[in-house]
Amino acid sequence: MMENVLRVGIIGAGGIAEAVHIPNYLKHSNKVKIVAIADVVKDNAEKMANAFDINHIFTSYEEMLDTINLDAVSVCTPNKFHANATIAALQAGCHVICEKPPAMTVAEAEQMAETAKQYGKILTYGLSFRHTPEVGALKRFIDADELGEIYAARVHAIRRRGIPGWGVFTNKELQGGGPLIDIGVHMLDTALYLMGYPEPDTVFGVTYQKLGNQKGVGLAGEWDWKNFTIEDMARGMITFTNGASIILESAFAANTEKHDEMSVSLMGENGGADVFPLKMYQEKHETLIDITPSHLPIKDNYELQMERFIACCLNGEQPISTADQGVSLQKIINGLYESAEKGEAIKLTPAQVR
């Protein structure tokens, strides 16, 4: 039985745990106690434990889950290990927030969702852009039918020379892909969330490896270009069973003007909107008008994401990012990669992409 204080374990002592999960748990020290941390590299776990005063250190999450009584777990591993770690934590009776993307395959994402339902636990994902003030404000306008039926969207997650020079982001075996599954997933999820997460029907994707496999300027550090196994750009189109569509572009490296662009554009019957920054477009009283907010809350999206997860665990609230949505998101991502590999459109319904 969960007490007033949420007992949390961390799986994976990497950058996202250090910068996002642990600091934002500690902001709620009256509600949360980080009890244990597990990482296959003992030195990493020890360093993190010493920095944040975490009492128990493990080199395997299985041992941590068997040894320590936990209420919730953050899964902060490379993508390859998301599914197994999440499923083990759920089976141990823990609520889970798993970093994006959900998994490597649709089958894994489905098993994660099914396990959460079977054990009656919360499973949500670190899709942090949902928690930005821009998205929160626009969602309120959409819920009030200010945009009407949203039938088209554009998604951009493009860096000029932003290949990560740290971690395993350029390793396909551990990550499952490149910018599409890493940064593209954020903007894709944001668009899907604002569109009401329609059921995907067909995807067509192309991927490129033109810049990442050669030495060049690195605005995010020097990357291992000799062992670059991911795409450096992905483009695609997604159609949905309700007739809506999304055009997507994502890149770690592309010859564009802006160094970094993360954006979503929506087009609906009653209005449209751009996000990041937020601006809305309507026709009213025989006049075309643009709407921009003069004030938005300042709270950090990562802070709000973790705050909401804590509330869900303690109060039984439902997360705004659900396990079932994670399955749908994974279907689209894997479908785009499969389409790029085969050079043809992939039908996601009724057949399921694995």
We report the CATH number of the domain holding residue 28 as 3.40.50.720
Q: What is the pLDDT of residue 349?
A: 76
Residue 304 lies in a domain: no
Averaged over 37-65, what is the pLDDT? 98
Percentage of residues in the chain having pLDDT higher than 70: 98
HSE, CB side, 13 Å, CA atoms: give it for residue 70.
30
Domain CATH number, residue 158: 3.30.360.10
Domain range for 97: 6-126
Q: What is the pLDDT of residue 299?
A: 87
Averaged over 245-274, what is the pLDDT? 98
Q: What is the pLDDT of residue 354?
A: 46
pLDDT tens for each residue of 78-111: 999 999 999 999 999 999 999 999 999 999 999 9
Averaged over 230-254, what is the pLDDT? 98
How many separate domains does the chain show? 2
pLDDT classification of 350: cutoffs 50, 70, 90: low
* CA atoms of 15 and 13, how far apart (whole Å): 7
* CA atoms of 52 and 72, how far apart (whole Å): 18
Residues 30 and 171 in one domain: no
* CA atoms of 270 and 179, how far apart (whole Å): 33
Residue 271 lies in a domain: yes
pLDDT tens for each residue of 127-151: 999 999 999 999 999 999 999 999 9
Domain end: 79, 103, 126, which one? Answer: 126
Residues 150 and 96 in one domain: no
For the cut 90, the answer to whether the pLDDT of residue 1 exceeds it is no
Domain end: 109, 126, 143, which one? Answer: 126
Residue 309 lies in a domain: no
Structure tokens at 280: 């809305």
Residues 140 and 189 in one domain: yes
Averaged over 267-289, what is the pLDDT? 97
Strand, helix or coil for residue 22: helix
* Mean pLDDT taken over the chain: 96
Domain end: 126, 154, 180, which one? Answer: 126
Contacts of 312 (CB under 8 A, 6+ apart): 95, 122, 124, 318, 319
pLDDT classification of 37: cutoffs 50, 70, 90: very high
